[in-house]
Structure 1
Amino acid sequence: MILQRRPGVEGIGVRRRGWNPGRIDPARALLITVAGGCAAGSLVWTLLVGFVEPHAALAFGVLIAAGELARITLPGHREVAPIASAGAIGYAFLLSVGGVTATHSAWQVIAVVTLGIALGELPHIAVGREPRWSDLARRLLIVEITALVFRPFVHEVPPDSEHWWLVVAVMTALVAGAWLVDAALAATIRAERLHTRISVAFGDELRAQFAIGMAIGSSGMLIALASTVTGLVGLLVFTAPLLVTQVAFRRFAEIRLTYLQTVRSLSRVTEVGGYVETGHSRRVSRLARLIGCELGMRESELLELEYAALMHDIGQLSLRDPIAGGATVLASPREQRRIAELGSAVIRETGVLDAVAELVRRQCEACEGDGDDGPPPLGSRIIKVANAFDDLVGESRDADRIEAVLQRLRMDAGREYDTDVVEAAARVLDRDRARR
Structure 2
Amino acid sequence: MSSAPDPERRTPRTPSAGRPDADAASSRSQEQSLTARLSRTSSGLPRTSTPSPAHGRHRAPGARAFRARRERAPWTVVGVRVAAGAVGGAGFAWTLWSGVEQPGTALAFGFFIVVGELVRRGPEGREPAPLGAAGALAYALLGAVGGEPAAHGVLQVATVVGAAALAGTAPHVAYSRTPVLDHIARRVLTAAFAATCCQPLRVSGVLDTWAGQGPQYAVFLLLLLVLTALCDAVLCAALARARTGWPYGPLLRDELRSLLGIGTAVCATGVVIALAVEVAGFWAMPVFCVPLLLTQFSLRRYAEVRNTYRQTIASLARATEVAGYTPPGHARRVAALSRAVGRELGLSEPDLTVLEYAALMHDIGQLSLVDPVPAGATEPLPPEEQRRIALLGGAVVRQTGVRPEVAVVVERQADPYREQPLTARIIRTANAYVDLAGGGGRLGGPLSALERLRLGTAKDYEPRVVEALARVLATGGAPPGA
**TM-score, with normalisation over the residues of structure 1?**
0.88
Which residue does 2:82 correspond to in 1?
33
Deviation at 1:2, TM superposition (A): 4.0
Question: For 2:375 and 2:252, how far apart are their aligned partners in 1?
Answer: 41
Letter matched to residue 458 of structure 2: G
Segment drifting more, 302-311 vs 326-335: 326-335
Identical residues among aligned pairs (%): 41
Contact 2:365 2:390 in 1 (8 A): yes
Q: 2:282 aligns with which of 232, 243, 263?
A: 232
Given candidates 91, 95, 101, the residue that maps to 1:42 is 91
Matched, 1:4 2:8: yes
- Distance in 1 between residues matched to 2:443 and 2:184, nearest whole Å: 39
Deviations 1:127-150 (A, max 9, x none): 221324323322221101111232
Q: Which runs of 5+ in 2 are unaligned?
A: 12-29, 38-70
Deviations 1:226-264 (A, max 9, x none): 111111111112111211222222222222222222222
CA 1:74–1:312 in structure 2 vs 1: closer, same or farther (change >3 Å)?
farther
In the TM superposition, what are the counterparts of 1:32-431 in structure 2 within 5 Å?
32-73=81-122, 77-157=125-205, 163-165=212-214, 166-368=216-418, 375-394=419-438, 396=440, 400-431=444-475
Contact 2:334 2:431 in 1 (8 A): yes
Query: Could you tell me how far 1:83 is from its partner in structure 2?
Result: 0.9
Q: What displacement does 1:344 show?
A: 0.8
Higher relative contact order structure (alpha carbons within 8 Å, sequence separation ≥ 6): 2
Structure 1 residues 171 and 354 mapped into 2: Cα distance closer, same or farther (>3 Å)? same
AA at the equivalent of 1:16 = S
Name the aligned partner's letter for residue 37 of structure 1. A
Contact 1:95 1:158 in 2 (8 A): no
Unaligned ranges ≥5, structure 1: 8-12, 369-374
Shift of residue 193 of structure 1? 4.6
RMSD between aligned residues? 2.9
Normalising by structure 2, we get a TM-score of 0.80
Q: How many residues align?
A: 422
Partner of 1:371: none
Please give the per-residue CA displacement for 1:203-222, whole angstroms capped at 9, x wherever unaligned: 22111222211211121111
Q: CA deviation at 1:347?
A: 0.4
Deviation at residue 64 of structure 1 after TM alignment: 0.2
1:362 alignment partner, SS class: helix
2:33 matched residue in structure 1: 16
**1:200 Cα offset (Å):** 2.6
Q: C-alpha distance in 1, partners of 2:477/2:341?
A: 15
SS in 1 for 2:8: coil
Q: Is the 8 A contact 1:64 1:84 kept in 2?
A: yes
Q: 1:434 to 1:229 in 2, by over 3 A?
A: closer
> 2:94 & 2:446 partners in 1: Cα distance?
57
Moved over 6 A (4+): 158-162, 433-436
Q: Which amino acid aligns with 2:237?
A: A
Q: Are the equivalent residues in 1 in contact too, given 2:320–2:367 (CA < 8 A)? A: yes
Give 1:227's aligned amino acid.
V
Q: Give the whole-Å Cα distance in 1 for the aligned partners of 2:402 and 2:358.
A: 13
CA contact (8 A) 1:359 1:380 kept: yes
Change (3 A) 1:288 1:158: closer
CA deviations 1:35-78 (Å, max 9, x no partner) are: 12211221232123221211111111111001011123586x42
Q: What is the DSSP-based 3-state SS (H/G/I as helix, E as strand, rest coil) of the residue aligned with 1:342?
A: helix
Give, as a single letter, the amino acid of the residue that structure 1 aligns with 2:111: V
Give the residue type in structure 2 aligned to 1:30: G
